[in-house]
Structure 1
Amino acid sequence: MGLFLLLAGLLLGLISTAWAVNCPFPCRCTWIVDSLYADCSRRGLQTYPNFEGIPVEHLDLSGNLFSEFPTQYADIDSLIYLDLSNNHIATVGARSLIGFGSLITLKLANNSIMSWEDLSPNEAFKYTPKLKRLNLQGNQLGNFGSGESFELLMSLSLTELDISSCGITKLGGDQLINQLPNLEQLSLGNNKLETLANLPSHSLRFLDLSNCSIQYLTVIFLDSVGSLEVLNLSRNTQLNLGDPITEGPIFATSLRKLDLSYCNLDSIELSGLPQLTEVRLRGNLLRELNSGTFGNNSLLEVLDLSENVLRLIGQDAFSNLKRLKELNLAFNEIARLDRNFIRNNDVLVELNLSRNVLRKLTKIVSNSVRTINMSWCEITSIESSALSSLSAILRLDLSNNLISDIPSFMRSETLKELNLGNCRISTIRNNTFRDFPELADLHLNGNRLTSPIPPLYFRGNKFLDQLWMGDNPWICDCHNPLFVEFYDYLTSKPAKIKDKNHLRCAAPAIFYGKLWEFACADVWIVNARSSSGGEKAWSIIMITLIGIGALILAYACLQKHLKKRKIRQNDREYSENDEELQRIRHLNSRILLEDATPSIHQNQEISLLPSYEDALRMPKLERPVKSMLDLSGPDRARNSRKLRRSQTHPDGDGSQSDMEEGLQLDSRQRFRSAEMLSNRDKERRAQYGPYRRTGYMEYNQSGSRRLSIEDSRFPAAHLKSQNLQSAEQIGNFQSYENSPYTKRKPKIAEIPPFKRVNMMAESVEFLTDPEYEDLGSKPGSPFAKRKPKPPLPPPNAMKVNAQVYTVQHSPVIELDPAIEDYFSAAKKQPSSSTIASDFQELLEPELTSLPDDNRSSSSGGGTDHDLERGRRKKSKNSASRRVSGSFTADRAADNSSSDSEHRAQVHRPMRETLF
């Protein structure tokens, strides 16, 4: 297989390379191994094709209409073979071959060269130093040997010269051979040579003188060609072997092969040729062979004596031929053979005795013969011991004889092929071929067999695999079980019958000329249908098993298909989920970017949000409240309306109520912050599903925010993978130490820090505590005693003006605080909490005094001051309601504050952002 692939690859490579050559039309170029062959033969060309630039080596231009020698091909250095035979070239100029330095073979056969002079033999071939083969067959060159110098053929490299059929009647041997010192083969056949001149050459080894009308083969001629090995003298019908002068035998010590076929020789004397290995005497008139015929030719290997009139062959006719391998005695008149006539030929392999008149096959003794052909010998009987002495016989051909019976005890342990075709055999017995154990090929075609042969007759022939049974007059009894059995034996795989198309019926008349299978098809098919029940049962079982197997296979294929389909569906869903996840991540990133770069308006609102510590330092209520409804219920709206009325009607005794309303509003703002933190704690305790996904923000009835889990599809882990603070972290608030505002990490959201308003007072409680209610702005007041701390501001801190409000003192009823007092007079221990770790205070101008809002309305400002304070508180309360309970800086207060009010620069703490 590997060799076949290698050869195929080589062939394809050659074809592809041939395609790459621009072969001129109408030639065909092919690569053979590494040589380019161009075939332009029999194209009817009159002009030579152009092969410029093509490395052609073998160029065939035969069978065209060229009339001149192609001198234009002299530039092709690779050209080694040029065939110009069967054209109309009349002359070859003296300089026509200049440039053909690589040319080895030149064929000019069957052209129109009419004389040696037109060939320029003494000049033209000097320019071809590598020329070895020259063919001039079929040109009418005429006689050679007139003595003219221009007729001398001159070439130092020429080894083969063919001048057969050139009309030569006279040959001057000396003139032909002298200028060809290396000539080895010379063909002079089909020339009417009357006399055979000497050819003095020591290089000539092959000489063809067939059909030359030679009468005598003289000793002088054979002596002149001392190196001659092959001599063909066939079809010289008047030839006589021997010297006509001395009438002695011919002698040649170097001659190996001699062909004397069809020379009408009636006797032969070859004793003077001791080196002969091959002699062909076919078609002569030899009648007898004896021990002296080939007595001195002990080296003979091939001897052809066919088509003679041999009748008698002596017992010792071939006894001296110890090296004889092939002996042909066909087409003779041999009627009887001595059993020992080839006994001494120990290397004889092939014996041909066909077309003789042997009546009986008798015993032949040989230990070496492998093939015997005795066809067409008119043999009628065979001895039972005919093959017993042929110990190496492999093939025996007895076809076309008159044999009607084969003996029962005929045997051979080595015979492999036996041809009994076209004989008259009508019966085969059970022991006819029993003693041929190696029989593999048996021909019984063309005999007279009518009845089928039981297969048991061939049970001893284990290697029988080729049977020829055609052209016998078979009686087709389709209902006969033996006939069916014999047909099954011949056609069962591997089929033994080799001429199945010749198995035809001769009887009955309705089947005459029909093939067995067509004649008995109807009967055999019916019998097949009416087979036994067991066979039907087995057939049903096998079909059932095959069907079950097919169903199992189909189910397995379906399962595999569904599995692959599910895998593809999962992959598609995963890709869709991944795409949606990427989209949501992109959306979160965009929201984060938008929150990270707030507008100026948002910056102003966010920066005014108070911190948790600021919210705790705001003024407290002086009385307890029953519920948060006191701060956020209907009374709040009513108080708001009262405040608006007080602002629109500043006269009357509404000033004191306005002051009380203001305190209550401040307290409600504090409780609003507490309510927001409480709602956040509820949100933290809320139970969300295990696959909480991202969603939109919504507010519940209490005003707190939570994430909507409706239509959510992705777990919270995907959201947490973003650097964002989740709603759970905000909802986990438990105290001001765990507040998200105190533990914020600016790097998570990557937002530049913001600062918040931080009152520089030590505590807002000093303003509302009963212990300090009468101090106001006295020198003993904590506002007077307090000195602001001077911390260094950070370089990138944002400065914000904070409005410090003054509250007029008015006599009110003292109530118990509604909210626990977190700050006492005693100095608190420094806490390890990190609440204020993110806050820094800026150095602000010293506060000399704070106006006391508890004083009477007689202090500077009067009614106008009360109106301004009402408007400021109204704006403050509306801003606090917009943020759902958290404090917002009063932008309106910043815009409407008077120049007399003091401003403080504080830090703005960072505000953490969820989205």
Structure 2
Amino acid sequence: MRMGLELVCLLLLATASSSWAVNCPWPCRCAWVVDSLYADCSRRSLHTFPNFDGIPVEHLDLSGNQFGQFPTQYADIDSLIYLDLSNNQISALDGKSLIGFTSLRTLLLANNSIGSWEALSPNEAFKYAPSLKRLGLDGNHLGSFGSGESFELLTSQSLTELELSSCDISALGGDQLMNQLPNLERLNLANNQLTQMAALPSRSLRSLDLSNCSIQHLSGFFLDSLQHLEALNLSRNTQLEFGGLEEDPVLTFELRKLDVSYCNLDSIDLSGLPQLTELRLRGNLLRSIDATTFANNTMLEVLDLSQNVLRLLGQDAFANLKRLKQLNLAFNEIARLDRNFIRNNDVLVELNLSRNVLQKLTRIVSNSVRTINMSWCEITFIDSSALSSLSVIQKLDLSNNLISDFPTFMRSETLQELNLANCRLSTVRNNTFREFPELADLHLNGNRLTSPIPPYYFGSNKFLDQLWLGDNPWICDCHNPLFVEFYDFLTAKPAKIKDKNHLRCAAPAIFYNKLWEFACADVWIQNARSSSGGEKAWSIIMITLLLLGGLILAYACLQKFLKKRKVRDNHREYAENDDELRRIRDLNDRILLEDATPSIHQQQQEISLLPSYEDALRMPKLVRPVKSMMDLSGPERARNSRKLRRSQTHAEGEGSQSEAEDSSLQLDSRQRFRSVEMLSNRDKERTAQYGPYRRTGHMEYSQSGSRRFSIEDSRFPAAHLKTQNLQSAEQIGNFQSYENSPYTKRKPKIAEIPPFKRVNMAAASVEFLTDPEYDDVEASKPGSPFAKRKPKKSLPPPPSMKVSAQVYTLKQSPVLELDPAVEDYFSAAKKQASSSTIGSDFQELHAPELRSLPDENRSSASPSESEHDLERAKRRKRKNSSSRRVSGSFTAANAGDGSSSSSDTEQHARVHRPMRETLF
């Protein structure tokens, strides 16, 4: 039994766990029962059918909704075997509605709006369901069954069970009807008003239900046509006459079960039914039973004669029923029982005599009866030998009788359950239950017991484990040791009392209707406190140990809690720090990204700070070799300047010029060096290295030219650094071509860039470079300083250095091949070795000889106008030099004497190395 319960629990758990694995459509509920999927969509007031595509549902319940048509879309569900559409509003069934339901076995259409057999298409629709076994049409208004036209006849080769109860069928019968249902086994026609009944010749029908059909007479011809009928229900046909006519007797040898309950039969003849095994005659008017009543029904196993008016039972009334197992005589008027009335029924197990007027329980002889129900029989006296002849009795129900005293010497070796509830017992003696050694369940509730029962009264009942003592007027004497002992006996584990909540006090008045444990709790606790000293000491020791254990446990829990909280705080702090670092990193990355990708306004501002292409060409070039721009701004600038002037004086060996010209050139040199200093500071700004996590604090410059921050742990950038647009030193260091040069950000004016014919880097003016109209300097510009210069002596022409420059124009036009205007610092051609004696990074290039061209304007110009033009050019150069300090133009002073810039005998020009080598 326990294994079965465990198996059921496992199946339920498996069902509950597997139900979640199905994507059940709303609002249905799906559940697995063993290996079948049940979908319950009943009583949801649905108007549209739920979608079960891809769900292997087998049992689908759609009852209690508002569907008006048959769901033909479920024909694609191959696993569907049960479909319940009862209690809907389906009015018709098309002849092709069941096409595709090849696996359907049960179809229930009860309580719908089907008005006739023609609306069901009975001769066509059910042919397409070859596996249909059960069809339910209860509650529809069909009118008749089997007596209409051929197209109204139900046709199905597989149908075995048909339910047509409450269908307003008034006519029944016909050979053609049963021929269309060759495999029908069970037919339910209950609750119809059958006024005409024809024969139903069928060899397959096993069960027929004609209850509550107003049948008055059942002819023998009707039963003869049902050759294999086994169960017939004729109950609640109140005007039925069964087997009373001699000219038309009821005779059948196949009928096994017959129910003629509530038919108002006062007599019955069952001699023509020799194979009956179950007979129910409940609710009739039978007054007596004798030996001839069931003389020919020797195969009976279940006989129900309850709710009749039986008063006398003959001595041999059931003597011939050798196979009788259950006999029900309840709700009769039996006042006396013969001790031997069931003596010959050797297999009788259950006897029900409840609701009779026996008044006295006497001896009953039976060697097979195990259960006897004699409740509500008004019994006042019990014979002490009443159970002596019941050798296998196990359960005796004597509840709701008038028993005031249970006999002392009553005994039974097999009795296990004794029910004396709701009687009038007031006392229980020490030998009342002594002779019931197998007693396990005793009901004494609802009696008049007032005093506690000593536990030793149940000393012989070793198997007693269920006691029912509630609803008795107990007197709760909490100071009585017997009362306390009895309570301990009932509540000691395993507890024997089963109705503890009904165990209440009736006296004294202060404890009225209170439970025992609440009524005597104060007294029992006080008595426990006033126990012996040893018990008190032991209790104190136990309580102390419990308190110590509780304190230790609380301390351990507190330590564990503090440890967990510390770990939690550490994790939280770590997470906060990590989040803060992430925010700072994201902020720095965003700032760096903004610095790396400046806006259009910043680009325009940066372009405005850089010198234009014409300004860069007009900037005076350095005469002396310089390794880097840092030499111009370092602390040894003055010493290097003097050294450089001394070395150039020794190298060139030329005399000094006039003091005015020398002073003007030295003034221009100082202005250039100041411009160079500004450029070097800007270079430091570009090449400063700073990390993404140190962005505040003032900058300090080291001797190496890099900058560092004075505040190491600052997190947010300073305000002057946020708006500062710094150029990356890496971009300058990785300078590759003029496309990446900052000079190309400003578009040059194409008309002002001349094609260079010759390059003289030591010339005092480059005006002829910006005039695209003339190639002849002396002829084109008579006022140019080049026209005043004397032609150089004929020297062997040095190899000219060609510099290529790329000029991007918007319009493509053919351009003549001219010498480059800007020196190509990144050309792959090998540079010529410098012949300078000073260890410099500058290269010496032999400039081609400049030949003076005849200029009429120059010859005619007066010396005063030429000096005036020269003075004006010098002023312009000083103004441009001072204005370019902010724009970052590259200027340098001409080291040496002033005569070196205007000498006609100069043959060499010094050219700077590429920008990335000069700056770094």
Measured against the shorter chain, the TM-score band is 0.5 to 0.7
**1:382 and 2:382 aligned:** yes
Compute the displacement of 1:449 (Å).
1.1
Match of 2:44 in 1: 43
Match of 2:461 in 1: 461
Match of 1:189 in 2: 190
Match of 1:316 in 2: 316
Match of 2:57 in 1: 56
Q: CA distance change for structure 1 residues 2 and 407 in 2, over 3 Å: closer, same or farther?
A: closer
**1:103 and 2:104 aligned:** yes
Match of 2:172 in 1: 171
Match of 1:225 in 2: 226
SS of equivalent to 1:241: coil
Q: CA distance change for structure 1 residues 14 and 475 in 2, over 3 Å: closer, same or farther?
A: closer
Larger deviation: 485-494 or 282-291? 485-494
Corresponding pairs, count:
558
- The 2-side partners of 1:487 and 1:433 are apart by 19
- Check conservation: 1:219, 1:243, Cα contact below 8 A: no
Q: CA distance change for structure 1 residues 168 and 101 in 2, over 3 Å: closer, same or farther?
A: same
- The 1-side partners of 2:268 and 2:288 are apart by 10
Match of 2:87 in 1: 86
- Check conservation: 2:401, 2:423, Cα contact below 8 A: yes
Q: CA distance change for structure 1 residues 104 and 214 in 2, over 3 Å: closer, same or farther?
A: same
- Check conservation: 1:442, 1:466, Cα contact below 8 A: yes
- The 2-side partners of 1:149 and 1:104 are apart by 25
- The 1-side partners of 2:277 and 2:443 are apart by 36
- The 1-side partners of 2:31 and 2:521 are apart by 53
- The 1-side partners of 2:339 and 2:197 are apart by 45
Q: CA distance change for structure 1 residues 194 and 438 in 2, over 3 Å: closer, same or farther?
A: same
Match of 1:642 in 2: none
**Amino acid across the alignment from 2:403:** I
Match of 2:117 in 1: 116
- The 1-side partners of 2:474 and 2:3 are apart by 49
Q: CA distance change for structure 1 residues 285 and 158 in 2, over 3 Å: closer, same or farther?
A: same
SS of equivalent to 1:59: strand
Compute the displacement of 1:163 (Å).
1.0
Q: CA distance change for structure 1 residues 8 and 419 in 2, over 3 Å: closer, same or farther?
A: closer
- The 2-side partners of 1:503 and 1:427 are apart by 17
| Deviations, residues 811-846 of structure 1 (Å, cap 9, x unaligned) | xxxxxxxxxxxxxxxxxxxxxxxxxxxxxxxxxxxx
Alignment of 1:70-469 (within 5 A): 70-242=71-243, 244=245, 246-247=246-247, 249-469=249-469
- The 2-side partners of 1:401 and 1:27 are apart by 52
SS of equivalent to 1:220: helix
- The 1-side partners of 2:278 and 2:37 are apart by 38
- Check conservation: 1:455, 1:486, Cα contact below 8 A: yes
SS of equivalent to 1:161: strand
Alignment of 1:821-900 (within 5 A): none
| Deviations, residues 56-76 of structure 1 (Å, cap 9, x unaligned) | 222221111111112222222
- Check conservation: 2:243, 2:268, Cα contact below 8 A: no
Compute the displacement of 1:540 (Å).
5.2
Q: CA distance change for structure 1 residues 175 and 425 in 2, over 3 Å: closer, same or farther?
A: same
- The 2-side partners of 1:389 and 1:61 are apart by 57
- Check conservation: 2:305, 2:329, Cα contact below 8 A: yes
Larger deviation: 248-257 or 538-547? 538-547
| Deviations, residues 716-747 of structure 1 (Å, cap 9, x unaligned) | xxxxxxxxxxxxxxxxxxxxxxxxxxxxxxxx
SS of equivalent to 1:216: coil
Compute the displacement of 1:457 (Å).
1.4
Larger deviation: 211-220 or 476-485? 476-485
- The 1-side partners of 2:11 and 2:303 are apart by 43
- Check conservation: 1:218, 1:243, Cα contact below 8 A: no
- The 2-side partners of 1:350 and 1:3 are apart by 26
Compute the displacement of 1:147 (Å).
4.1
Compute the displacement of 1:534 (Å).
3.8
Structure 1 portions without partners, runs of 5+? 562-915
- Check conservation: 2:474, 2:504, Cα contact below 8 A: yes
SS of equivalent to 1:510: helix
Q: CA distance change for structure 1 residues 451 and 11 in 2, over 3 Å: closer, same or farther?
A: closer
- The 2-side partners of 1:365 and 1:507 are apart by 44
Compute the displacement of 1:542 (Å).
5.9
**Amino acid across the alignment from 2:213:** C
- The 2-side partners of 1:522 and 1:6 are apart by 47
**TM-score, normalised by the number of residues in structure 1:** 0.58
| Deviations, residues 258-287 of structure 1 (Å, cap 9, x unaligned) | 111101111111121111111111100111
- The 2-side partners of 1:335 and 1:329 are apart by 12
- The 2-side partners of 1:251 and 1:307 are apart by 27
| Deviations, residues 338-374 of structure 1 (Å, cap 9, x unaligned) | 0111111111111110000011110011111111110
SS of equivalent to 2:376: coil
- The 2-side partners of 1:2 and 1:489 are apart by 32
| Deviations, residues 668-722 of structure 1 (Å, cap 9, x unaligned) | xxxxxxxxxxxxxxxxxxxxxxxxxxxxxxxxxxxxxxxxxxxxxxxxxxxxxxx
- The 1-side partners of 2:216 and 2:362 are apart by 43
- Check conservation: 2:39, 2:57, Cα contact below 8 A: yes
Q: CA distance change for structure 1 residues 423 and 14 in 2, over 3 Å: closer, same or farther?
A: closer
- Check conservation: 1:307, 1:331, Cα contact below 8 A: yes
Which of structures 1 and 2 has the bigger CA Rg?
1
Compute the displacement of 1:10 (Å).
6.4
| Deviations, residues 277-305 of structure 1 (Å, cap 9, x unaligned) | 11111100111010111111111111111
- Check conservation: 1:249, 1:269, Cα contact below 8 A: no
- Check conservation: 2:11, 2:33, Cα contact below 8 A: no
**Amino acid across the alignment from 1:89:** I
**Amino acid across the alignment from 2:158:** S
- The 1-side partners of 2:20 and 2:224 are apart by 55
- Check conservation: 1:504, 1:515, Cα contact below 8 A: yes
Compute the displacement of 1:25 (Å).
2.2
Q: CA distance change for structure 1 residues 255 and 546 in 2, over 3 Å: closer, same or farther?
A: same
- The 1-side partners of 2:8 and 2:233 are apart by 40
- The 1-side partners of 2:55 and 2:430 are apart by 72
| Deviations, residues 80-109 of structure 1 (Å, cap 9, x unaligned) | 221111111111111111222221111111
SS of equivalent to 2:171: coil
Larger deviation: 535-544 or 327-336? 535-544
Match of 2:489 in 1: 489
**Amino acid across the alignment from 1:357:** V
- The 2-side partners of 1:82 and 1:199 are apart by 29
- The 1-side partners of 2:88 and 2:388 are apart by 62
Q: CA distance change for structure 1 residues 450 and 215 in 2, over 3 Å: closer, same or farther?
A: same
Compute the displacement of 1:23 (Å).
2.6
- Check conservation: 2:206, 2:228, Cα contact below 8 A: yes
Match of 2:499 in 1: 499
**1:32 and 2:33 aligned:** yes
Q: Output the aligned Cα RMSD.
A: 2.7
Compute the displacement of 1:31 (Å).
2.6
SS of equivalent to 2:107: strand
Compute the displacement of 1:173 (Å).
3.0
**TM-score, normalised by the number of residues in structure 2:** 0.58
Q: CA distance change for structure 1 residues 243 and 3 in 2, over 3 Å: closer, same or farther?
A: closer
- Check conservation: 1:321, 1:345, Cα contact below 8 A: yes
Match of 2:900 in 1: none
Compute the displacement of 1:35 (Å).
2.4
- The 1-side partners of 2:7 and 2:271 are apart by 54
SS of equivalent to 2:32: strand
**Amino acid across the alignment from 1:411:** R
Structure 2 portions without partners, runs of 5+? 561-920
Compute the displacement of 1:194 (Å).
1.6
- The 2-side partners of 1:2 and 1:366 are apart by 35
**Amino acid across the alignment from 1:294:** F
- The 2-side partners of 1:236 and 1:548 are apart by 81
- The 2-side partners of 1:399 and 1:6 are apart by 36
- The 1-side partners of 2:315 and 2:103 are apart by 59
**1:522 and 2:533 aligned:** no
